[in-house]
Amino acid sequence: MRAYVIWFLIGAVFLFLEMQLPGFILFFFAIGAWVAALAVAFLDISLSQQILIFTVSSVVSLVILRAYLKRVFHGHLIGSAPDGEFDDGVMGSIVSVVEPIRPNTPGKIKYRGSYWKAYSDEVLQAGDSARIVSYAEEGHAAFRVRKVEE
């Protein structure tokens, strides 16, 4: 397999991983890999030069483009509350427990068709109904819930 194809595939893997993971960092390594692929396709360069091109182009694209592209892709909610006060009706919602939750051991809940990590001070079994009472200490990617007595 030619070197430029390998660099292109490495870039595609970075782009795929970027879509799976938070952070908006791997995208710039994909750019670096594609710049290296272009360099290898048109120039006869050694592996160490390819790695140098990949590294430099990744870092340069990260430093120059990340802040701008993060603003472009992040977006803004119109009419939202200030940071720390955002609540789109999550609190008080009734959810289904899909993986058991125990004190100090997170489980999973289903909320609006998506699965979320959840914590509780009580034991909840799969199939139980729970009420979202707050976001978890780790941020807005997990919830604290209480069992709903039926």
Instruction: Please say whether the dihedral angle defined by the alpha carbons of residues 83, 118, 114 and 22, taken in this order, is positive or negative.
Output: positive
For residues 129 and 102, is the Cβ–Cβ distance under 8 A? Answer: no
Would you tell me how many other CB atoms lie within 10 Å of the CB of residue 61? 19
Return the exposure string of 106-125: e unless at least 16 CB atoms fall within 10 Å of the residue's CB, then b. bbbbebeeeebebbbeeebe
Strand segments, DSSP code E, in the chain are 94-99, 107-111, 114-119, 129-136, 139-147
pLDDT class of 66 with cuts at 50, 70, 90: confident
CATH H-level superfamily of 94-147: Nucleic acid-binding proteins (2.40.50.140)
CB 14 within 8 A of CB 23: no
Question: Which residues fall within 8 angstroms of residue 69, CB to CB, at 6 or more apart?
Answer: 24, 27
- The predicted-structure confidence for 5-40, as pLDDT tens digits, reads as follows 999 999 999 999 999 887 788 999 999 999 999 999
**pTM of the entire predicted model:** 0.49
Domain boundaries along the sequence of the chain: 3-74, 94-147
- Predicted confidence (pLDDT) per residue in 94-130, tens digit: 899 999 999 888 899 998 888 889 999 999 889 889 9
